[in-house]
Amino acid sequence: MTKTIDLRSDTITKPGAAMRKAMHDAEVGDDVFGEDPTVNALQERVAAMFGKEAALFVPSGVMGNEICVKLHTEPGDEIIAGEDSHIVVYETGGPGLLSGVQVLTIPETRGVLDPGRVERAVRPDRYYFPRTRLVCVENTHGRSGGSVYPIDRLHELWLLTRERGIRLHLDGARIWNASAASGVPLEEYGRHADTLSVCFSKGLGAPAGSMIVSDRKGIEKARKFRKIFGGGMRQAGILAAGAIYALDNHLGKLAEDHEKARTLASELNNGGKVRIDPATVETNMVIFDIAHTGRSQESLLMLLARAGVLLTPERDTHLRAVTHLDVSLEDVRTAASRITEAL
Ligand SMILES: Cc1ncc(COP(=O)(O)O)c(C=O)c1O
């Protein structure tokens, strides 16, 4: 039987025996009381990794982002975010619903916001304008195929937010990939954001869990919002243990996922049915255009699924493949030849 190669997302990985054992053995307590030693250990560890004072374990990346938006704003404020960012596209209007803010979207170039555009988007201080409170960036950037936000560009934006007295939130669901690919230490990213939201359930392969990282005061406030949003978990150490296992054992493997993505792109290019610019494959995602096939995304996805490769639709005429812990380099080569054959 053909083994299906699932490249839909790096979120589909399943915890292996050793991670499950770590979760099974975790010491736990009631985390809503702040008494789960495993959660506390993870929070301290991740805060230190980003050079920040404190961190808060939350169930998901969306909750991490939405709590951070809430943290920095009052209803009626405005936030600036890239038009293709996760917060704008995939969080079901959360900032409007949960924080009562207006989102001003601006275009990105491979996930990067032009500081000049941001500067022009910041509202002057007049009573009839909404108050601009926050700029959100995403690193790596999902809809640009896992592109890395260059640290010098982030630095420009950071300086601008300091000058204008606004906050910067970094959606770092895949910040680990960004750091592995760019060599920029996590701490350096931490220095360029008031808050970060980072995930353990993407490339790191834990079953669930994200973390908000910030200063102590911000995290205390975030704890209140986590409670309001229904994200307080009790013996969450079972999940935190999976995240700790992932940091210990999987952080170092992200470079392999990036290598798998580059291999997939080059084998697809060699197959001659699609063209992928290798420069666009910066981390663990490969996006390619299928417009020239004359087929819809749905029909191609079905055809590929029958051939034993699962992908996702991206933008109007593209498909996306994501490499992760549960596919090997060999799987990726097989996937490339199945895709080429099917096309
Ligand atoms: C960039 C980015 N931010 C946030 C999230 C949300 O994470 P979750 O699915 O854990 O809510 C995702 C999910 O894939 C993501 O890609």
Give, for ligand 1, the residue of 65, 69, 86 to mutate: max count of ligand atoms closer than 8 Å to Cβ: 86
User: Is 201 near ligand 1, meaning CB less than 6 Å away?
Assistant: yes
Please report, in tens digits, the pLDDT of each residue of the chain (343 residues total).
689 999 999 999 999 999 999 999 999 999 999 999 999 999 999 999 999 999 999 999 999 999 999 999 999 999 999 999 999 999 999 999 999 999 999 999 999 999 999 999 999 999 999 999 999 999 999 999 999 999 999 999 999 999 999 999 999 999 999 999 999 999 999 999 999 999 999 999 999 999 999 999 999 999 999 999 999 999 999 999 999 999 999 999 999 999 999 999 999 999 999 999 999 999 999 999 999 999 999 999 999 999 999 999 998 899 999 999 999 999 999 999 999 999 9
Of the candidates 249, 277, 302, which is a domain's last residue?
249
Q: Are residues 43 and 133 in the same domain?
A: yes
Query: Contact 138/82 with Cβ under 8 angstroms?
Result: yes
Give, for ligand 1, the residue of 68, 84, 90, 322 to mutate: max count of ligand atoms closer than 8 Å to Cβ: 90
Rounded Cα gap, residues 20 and 159, in angstroms: 43
Give, for ligand 1, the residue of 58, 88, 136, 199 to mutate: max count of ligand atoms closer than 8 Å to Cβ: 199
Q: What residue numbers bound the domain in which 338 lies?
A: 5-12+253-342
What pTM value is reported for the model? 0.97
Q: Are residues 229 and 264 in the same domain?
A: no
Query: Contact 297/319 with Cβ under 8 angstroms?
Result: yes
Rg of the chain on CA atoms, in Å: 20
Query: 211-226 b/e with 16+ CB inside 10 Å = b?
Result: bbbbeeebbebbbebb
Q: Rounded to 5 degrees, what are φ and ψ at 88?
A: -80, -40
Cα–Cα distances (Å) from 340 to 120, 199, 323, in that order, read: 45, 33, 17
Rounded Cα gap, residues 103 and 82, in angstroms: 10
Rounded Cα gap, residues 334 and 314, in angstroms: 22
Cα–Cα distances (Å) from 342 to 26, 232, 272, 289, 317, in that order, read: 46, 46, 12, 15, 17
DSSP 3-state percent helix, strand, coil across the chain (nearest 5): 45, 15, 35
- Closest of 156, 157, 184, 181 to residue 169, by C-alpha: 157
Q: Are residues 53 and 113 in the same domain?
A: yes
Identify the three-state secondary structure at position 199.
strand
Q: Are residues 86 and 233 in the same domain?
A: yes
Rounded Cα gap, residues 88 and 66, in angstroms: 11
Angle between the N-to-C axes of helices 175-182 and 254-271, in degrees from 0 to 180, rounded to the nearest 10 = 80
H or E segment at 137?
A: strand 132-138
CATH number of residue 139's parent domain: 3.40.640.10
Of the candidates 249, 280, 300, which is a domain's last residue?
249
Q: Per the structure, how many domains does the chain have? A: 2
Q: Are residues 205 and 261 in the same domain?
A: no
Rounded Cα gap, residues 295 and 139, in angstroms: 32
Q: Are residues 52 and 162 in the same domain?
A: yes
Q: Are residues 226 and 109 in the same domain?
A: yes
Q: Are residues 296 and 212 in the same domain?
A: no
Q: Are residues 133 and 267 in the same domain?
A: no
Rounded Cα gap, residues 34 and 54, in angstroms: 13
| 343 Cα: distance to centroid of ligand 1 (angstroms) | 30
Q: Are residues 57 and 178 in the same domain?
A: yes
Count CB atoms within 10 A of the CB of residue 2: 10
Please, which residues bridge with residue 6 across strands?
Answer: 310
Of the candidates 221, 249, 277, which is a domain's last residue?
249
CATH number of residue 271's parent domain: 3.90.1150.10
| 141 Cα: distance to centroid of ligand 1 (angstroms) | 10
Q: Are residues 275 and 185 in the same domain?
A: no
Q: Are residues 174 and 135 in the same domain?
A: yes
Nearest CA owner, ligand 1 atom 8: 61
User: Is 22 near ligand 1, meaning CB less than 6 Å away?
Assistant: no
